[in-house]
Structure 1
Amino acid sequence: MTSRHSAAESAQPRDSIDRHIARWGREVPGLVPELEGTVTRMQKLVRHLQQKKEAALARHGLKLWEYEILWRLRSAGEPYRMAPTRLAQGLGVHPATLTNRLDRLQLAGLITRENAPEDRRSLLVGLTPQGAAMWAAVIDDQREAEATLLAPLAKKELGHLDALLRVVALAVEEDGPPLMPHVD
Structure 2
Amino acid sequence: MRDSIDRHIDFWQHEVPDLDVEVEGVVTRMQMLVRHLQTRRAEALQELGLRSWEYDILWRLRSAGPPYSVTPTALAVALDTHPATLTNRLDRLTQAGLVARSRAATDRRSVVVVLTEAGHHAWESSIGSQSAAEHELLGPLSPRERETLIKLLRKVVLAAEADGPDLMPLPQREDPAHPDG
Normalised-by-shorter TM-score class = 0.7 to 0.9
Other structure's SS at 2:12 match: helix
Matched AA of 1:140: G
Q: Could you say which residue in structure 2 is the equivalent of 1:132?
A: 120
Deviation at 1:31, TM superposition (A): 2.9
1:15 and 1:94 mapped to 2: Cα distance? 39
2:167 and 2:157 mapped to 1: Cα distance? 7
1:98 and 1:16 mapped to 2: Cα distance? 37
CA deviations over 1:115-172 (Å, ceiling 9, x no partner): 2233332222111111011111222221111110000000010010110011111111
* Aligned-pair identity (%): 58
Superposed, which structure 2 residues align to 1:57-136 within 5 Å?
57-136=45-124
Q: Could you say which residue in structure 2 is the equivalent of 1:9?
A: none
Find the structure with the greater CA-based Rg. 1
2:64–2:171 contact (8 Å) kept in structure 1: no
Q: Which residue, out of 173, 179, 184, partners 2:161?
A: 173
* Range 38-47 or range 159-168, more displaced: 38-47
1:90–1:182 contact (8 Å) kept in structure 2: no
2:127 and 2:12 mapped to 1: Cα distance? 38
Q: Higher relative contact order at CA 8 Å, sep ≥6: structure 1 or structure 2?
A: 2
1:154 and 1:110 mapped to 2: Cα distance? 39
1:23 and 1:123 mapped to 2: Cα distance? 54
CA deviations over 1:33-88 (Å, ceiling 9, x no partner): 32222122112111111111111221121222211111110010012112222222
Q: Could you say which residue in structure 2 is the equivalent of 1:37?
A: 25
Q: Which runs of 5+ in 2 are unaligned?
A: 173-181
Q: Provide the aligned C-alpha RMSD in A.
A: 2.0
TM-score normalised over the length of structure 1: 0.83
Q: Which runs of 5+ in 1 are unaligned?
A: 1-12
1:81–1:127 contact (8 Å) kept in structure 2: yes
